């Protein structure tokens, strides 16, 4: 089994201190930094764009795990690549040609992720599984932090793990949405090796980020 990695979502961080918050996460043992980009169109919320990611890049050498919840996504890929994203994750519903968007991300020497909403079935991306580095399983409906975990996605994680093992695919399985100490083990046991968490990491144990990261990794 791959080492469990934690990708804290800065959506739950103090936005007036984002640079320092990223440093805190790195010092506390975060494996990467999860950046949620929302456009108010593909999802009902607005967050940050390439200039903010570029400004934050100097605060950490950790992998920037950038989740693009924007549509149409294809024309913005270069901007996020140039800003310093290391992994660029897109939704199949947000592009007219998923294969072309995957190639476009790879042309900038970035890792490619595909995100599946709770209602998006694995079969719509099955032809591209061999071409991607990461599958991000959304365990809430994207748009807002602090939502409750949708347990039905466990079956989707198990299916992705089975496909990966059966066909020797190389992608990581990342899960995002409502991850906490009571469901993290279920997600890991189903096959996930990267957990995204915001509220739990920043709020639990009186904000003891290091302890919260370590606890989420326990199986």
Model pLDDT for residues 31-84, shown as the tens digit of each residue: 999 999 999 889 988 899 999 999 999 999 999 999 999 999 999 999 999 999
Give the C-alpha separation, 66 to 82, whole Å. 12
Question: Would you say residue 181 has pLDDT above 70?
Answer: yes
**Of 146, 147, 142, 178, residue with least CA distance to 46:** 142
Active site residues: 36, 176
DSSP label at residue 168: T
Output the CA–CA distances (angstroms, integers) from residue 17 to 13, 22, 23, 24, 163, in the order listed.
Answer: 8, 9, 10, 10, 41
For the cut 60, the answer to whether the pLDDT of residue 1 exceeds it is no
Per-residue model confidence as pLDDT tens digits over 2-23: 699 999 999 999 999 999 999 9
Whole-angstrom distance, CA of residue 101 vs CA of residue 86 = 16
Cis peptide before 72 (omega within 30 of 0): yes
Give the pLDDT of residue 44: 83
The H or E element that residue 138 is part of is strand 134-138
Task: Give CA–CA dist 95/130, Å, rounded.
Answer: 19
Nearest-angstrom CA–CA distance, 203 and 219: 21
Q: Whose CA is closest to 63, among 90, 102, 91, 26?
A: 26
Q: How far is the C-alpha of 121 from the C-alpha of 58, rounded, in Å?
A: 37
Report CA-CA distances (Å) from 81 to 13, 14, 104, 180.
23, 24, 10, 30
Token pair for 15: 């936005």
CATH class of 5-217: alpha beta
Percentage, residues of the chain above pLDDT 90? 93
Token output for 25: 């996460």
Q: What is the mean pLDDT of the chain?
A: 95
User: What are 27's two structure tokens?
Assistant: 């010092």
pLDDT of residue 46: 85
| Cβ 125 vs Cβ 95: under 8 Å | no
Spatial separation of the C-alpha atoms in residues 178 and 197, rounded to whole Å: 7
Residue 175: strand, helix, or coil: strand
Please tell me the pTM assigned to this model.
0.96
With 60 as the cut, is the pLDDT of residue 94 above it? yes
């Amino acid at each position: 089994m791959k080492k469990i990695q934690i990708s804290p979502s800065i959506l739950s961080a103090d936005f007036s201190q984002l640079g320092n918050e990223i440093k805190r996460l790195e010092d506390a043992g975060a494996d990467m930094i999860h950046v949620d980009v929302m456009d108010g169109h593909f999802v009902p919320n607005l967050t940050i764009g390439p200039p903010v990611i570029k400004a934050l890049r100097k605060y950490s050498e950790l992998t920037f795990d950038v989740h693009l919840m924007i549509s149409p996504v294809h024309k913005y890929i270069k901007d996020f690549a140039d800003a310093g994203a290391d992994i660029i994750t897109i939704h199949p519903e947000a592009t007219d040609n998923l294969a072309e968007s995957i190639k476009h991300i790879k042309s900038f020497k970035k890792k490619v992720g595909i995100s599946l909403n709770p209602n998006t079935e694995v079969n719509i991306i099955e032809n591209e599984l061999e071409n991607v580095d990461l599958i991000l399983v959304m365990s809430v409906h994207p748009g807002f932090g602090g939502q409750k975990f949708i347990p039905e996605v466990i079956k989707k994680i198990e299916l992705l793990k089975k496909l990966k093992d059966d066909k020797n695919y190389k992608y990581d399985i990342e899960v995002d949405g409502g991850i906490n100490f009571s469901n993290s083990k279920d997600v890991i046991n189903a096959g996930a090796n990267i957990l995204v968490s915001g509220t739990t990491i920043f709020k639990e144990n009186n904000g003891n980020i290091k302890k919260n990261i370590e606890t989420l990794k326990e199986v």
